[in-house]
Each structure stands twice: as C-alpha cells, then as structure tokens.
Amino acid sequence: MSAAQPPRQPKAKPSEDLIYTELYNSILERQLPPETKLGENLLAEHYGVSRTIIRQVLQRLAHDRLVKLEPNRGAFVASLSLEEAGQIYEAWRLIEAAIVRDVTQTITRKQIAALKKLVAEERQACEKQDIPRLTRLSAQFHMQLADLCRNKFLTKFLKELVPQTALAFFYEVRSMPICTKDEHGEILDAISSGDETAAVAAAMRHLDGIEKALNARSSIRKPLGLIDLLNTRIPSIS
Ligand SMILES: [Zn+2]
C-alpha cells in the first residue's frame, strides 16, 4: 500500500478583486478589443467562480466605462468612435498640461527616481517587444504623474480618461508611437530640471503624436474568442 496522500488543497478561487484587475489590465493592454462579448458563463467557468462574482466585476468595469452592459444582450468591452477618441485626447491634453505644471513645482528626488524606474521598465518592455506590457506601463506613467498633482480632482479626471484610450482601436498596434521615441524620458527630464514650459511642451508633443497616429482605416484584427484572448496574456492568477 502506498503512503496516504495528504489531502489535496483545493485550488484557491480568485477573488473578485483579482478578476477585476485581470480584466481591467486585459482591456488596458488592448488584449481584449472593443466589442468583445464578455459572456458571464464563459468567464465564470474560466475563473472557477460563480456568475454572481462575474456580474459584480462587470458592474465595476461598467462603472469605469470600460465595459457596456446591454439589456438582453449582456456585457461587451466598450468602444469609442474616432470623434470620441479625439475628444478624449483634447481633454487629456488640457489636464496633462495642468498636472505637469503643478508637478514640476513640487516633485521630490524620490518621486523622480520612482518615475525613472518606470521609464526604464518601459524601455525594457520595448526592447523585448512586449507590447501589452509596454502599453500598460505607458498608461501607468501618466497615472503615476497624476498622483503627484496637488489638485486631486485633476488626478481623478486623468485616471478616468487614460484607461479609456485603450478603447480607441484605431492604431496599428505595432506602430504605436510610444515605442519609437523616449518621450516619457524627455518629459521627466524637463520636469526634474524644473523647466515648466519645456515640460508642458514635451508632454503636448507626446500627446499630439499619439493622437496623430489614430487612423480610422486601421481596424481591429479579427477578434478571437474571449477565452482565447484571455489565454494569450500572462495571467496574474495562477
Ligand atoms: Zn505617454
């Protein structure tokens, strides 16, 4: 007789927060394109949780405006028209300029070091051609900068806006301009040298460049099934 096996620990079920983070990041990284159907049953089965938990996660994402809930049809990744995308960039430029101006006046060495570390990670992701990670880190740069702003309303606006740019699927993702130049590094250098005008100018050049790359003709690659899409990213849940 073989020795008694210790009772197998049941695999811990992912929490609502983990699933929320996973789906939020998948959308932010552009792994789940706009209009992807987020089937409750499929997701419940994929994560091994109840439909109630999935429904709560989808509600939270709908509150973030990343998901739309349609009566009788279910949940979908939200989408933006080209015009709406333009409006988002217009709002982003205004808020970003105010944030950069404020942060240039108050930033500490420690905060500069933290942002430099993030820019270095972006460079690494760029070298490895890890586009999803680069996309997420790139959004994080702007959100981390916004966190340093003394006006918390501006912080909140920016943090609501930036994730939504992931819903503007008018890029050829591989030629997204963030990867080609070290623009975050330039913004950060100007901020740390205390040059408000140069910092705002660098931030505006950066956002203008991204917006110019919006291209109505490039369309979403043919979407895979939901679970295939989720499986193409390295999950934060094991
Ligand atoms: Zn950027």
- Does residue 204 carry a pLDDT above 90? yes
Distance 182 CA to ligand 1 centre (A): 10
- Does residue 58 carry a pLDDT above 80? yes
Q: What CATH number should be reported for the domain whose range is 82-212? A: 1.20.120.530
The counts of H helices and E strands in the chain are: 10, 3
**Residue-level pLDDT at 127:** 86
If you average pLDDT over every residue of the chain, what do you get? 86
- Does residue 2 carry a pLDDT above 60? no
pTM (predicted TM-score): 0.81
Distance 136 CA to ligand 1 centre (A): 10
How confident is the model over 71-128, as pLDDT tens digits?
999 999 998 888 888 899 999 999 999 999 999 999 999 999 999 999 999 999 888 8
Q: Distance (Å, rounded) from C-alpha 112 to C-alpha 83?
A: 35
- Does residue 171 carry a pLDDT above 60? no
Distance 141 CA to ligand 1 centre (A): 7
Residue percentage of the chain with pLDDT more than 90: 60
**Residue-level pLDDT at 33:** 86
Same-fold call for 16-33+36-78+221-232 versus 82-212: no
What are the boundaries of each domain within the chain? 16-33+36-78+221-232, 82-212
Distance 184 CA to ligand 1 centre (A): 6
Q: Specify the range with the lowest mean pLDDT, choosing from 2-11, 122-131, 209-218.
A: 2-11
Which of 8-17, 64-73, 164-173 is most confident?
A: 64-73
Distance 79 CA to ligand 1 centre (A): 20
Q: What CATH number should be reported for the domain whose range is 16-33+36-78+221-232? A: 1.10.10.10
pLDDT classification of 9: cutoffs 50, 70, 90: low
What's the mean pLDDT in 197-220? Answer: 81
Distance 75 CA to ligand 1 centre (A): 29
**Residue-level pLDDT at 238:** 44
**Residue-level pLDDT at 99:** 98
